[in-house]
Amino acid sequence: MDTNLGFECDASRTAFEPDRFFRNSLAELKADGRYRTFLELERRAGEFPLADALGRSEPVVVWCSNDYLGMGQHPAVLKAMHAAIDRVGTGAGGTRNISGNTRDHVLLERELADLHGKEAALVFATGYVTNEAALSTLAGMIPGCIVYSDALNHASMIAGIRHSKAEKRIFRHNDVEDLERLMAADDPARPKLVCFESVYSMDADVGPIRAICDVAERYGAMTYLDEVHAVGLYGGRGGGVAEREGQMHRLTVIQGTLGKAFGCGGGYIAASAPLIDFVRSHAPGFIFTTSMPPAVAAAARASVAHLKASNAERKRHQEVVATVKSRLKEAGIPVMPSQTHLVPVFVGDAHLVRRVSDDLLTQHGIYIQPINYPTVPRGTERLRITPTPLHTDEQVERLVTSLVSVFQEHGLMMEQVA
């Protein structure tokens, strides 16, 4: 492979060649097994988790969707979106400040504030933008702020903290003693912000919310909790792990998404009214972005409202998750430890995890996207299975037998990962 990446050392040719640089960079990704491919899917309305995949005559069963509860297909959500389109059309027509602040946005934010027991909420275009904009604004504009960030925080949180240019301390994943050690070494008078997640999506573990809040309160620190993989799924009304554990009132900021369990799109923060107004007034990622389409806001509000009142989806979801974990372990599939609804299956090789994924699709009509570096550390490449309430018992059995067949074909170890 040409590793020159488009830069010529020859004095007669000093010009940068952009396409050559891009091609060589992509070639390195492919050689490393990290080149990402995108399966073209068309979900079948009313038939989730079935989808049509380009080039296949039969539908595939999707086992890696973040539409965890199938709310993207729920009649109440579809009805709300159709009604909003008929009422106001499609796009919002501008930023929230310039003609794009609709009644649907305002009502959605009220619904979200109520969900988390906070005074106010603020909706953003995506969950990634929410973290990047909120954290860069809060940490960057509070004078002398020190940020304490869990070592496995999502890329969006890392980006927000980095862009804030605030001093940061990285504490070992879910290690409350390490967090306290770092906080004790800093000036007690300086503002502090602890950033962590409830459900960590790749390792399927849960942050110690109560213990982190205890430490934060001892040192007068604010807390910022990312609940994107938990909202809708946990708690009596779908408020997330913090609701389940009775800790919502102790958190300064709760961040969530509308694009996973709520089945729509967008992200948000919920907090005190002054904090929300501060972010609304200062965050470029909010101020200069065209607002969410009103129909999406209306659909998201319907989804949030439904899951506040209904536990049926959450109950069935947990039943299917438990069945999938149990059946896979019984079959000898190397299921990694999971405290949550996420079911990671260990493969451990970037090229092999791609081949396993491809074989599941082409031979068995099952779609599970491979997860590799930098999303997870090298040598821990995996499949991440996300059961939903709408997966049938027959589809679960088909998943198990298909995985066994493909794993045996590739000589993968059929034992539980410790």
Q: φ and ψ at 289, to 5 degrees?
A: -115, 135
Strand bridging mode 267-271 / 253-257: antiparallel
CB-based contact 292:103 (threshold 8 Å): no
Cβ atoms within 10 A of the Cβ of 173, count?
A: 16
Q: Helices marked H in 248-293 — which ranges? A: 273-282, 284-287
SS3 of 268-329: EEEECHHHHHHHHHHCHHHHCCECCCHHHHHHHHHHHHHHHHCCHHHHHHHHHHHHHHHHHH
Peptide bond into 334 cis (omega under 30): no
Chain centre to alpha carbon of residue 397: 27
Residue 62 bridge partners (DSSP): 367
Q: Catalytic: which of 30, 79, 168, 260?
A: 260
As given in the structure block, the two tokens for residue 388 are 């939903």
Distance between CA 158 and CA 181 in Å, rounded?
21
Residue 345 bridge partners (DSSP): 335, 383
Q: Is 339 helix (H, G, I), strand (E, B) or coil?
A: coil
Distance between CA 156 and CA 161 in Å, rounded?
9
CB-based contact 386:341 (threshold 8 Å): yes
Distance between CA 152 and CA 241 in Å, rounded?
18
| Longest distance between any two alpha carbons in the chain, whole Å | 71
Cβ atoms within 10 A of the Cβ of 101, count?
A: 14
Q: Is 260 a catalytic residue?
A: yes
Q: φ and ψ at 225, to 5 degrees?
A: -110, 125
Distance between CA 211 and CA 355 in Å, rounded?
41
Helix, strand, coil % in the chain, rounded to nearest 5: 40, 15, 40
Distance between CA 334 and CA 347 in Å, rounded?
8
The residue among 168, 95, 180 whose CA lies nearest residue 136 is 168
Structure letter (DSSP) for residue 290: B
Distance between CA 370 and CA 380 in Å, rounded?
11
Provide the annotated active-site residues: 260
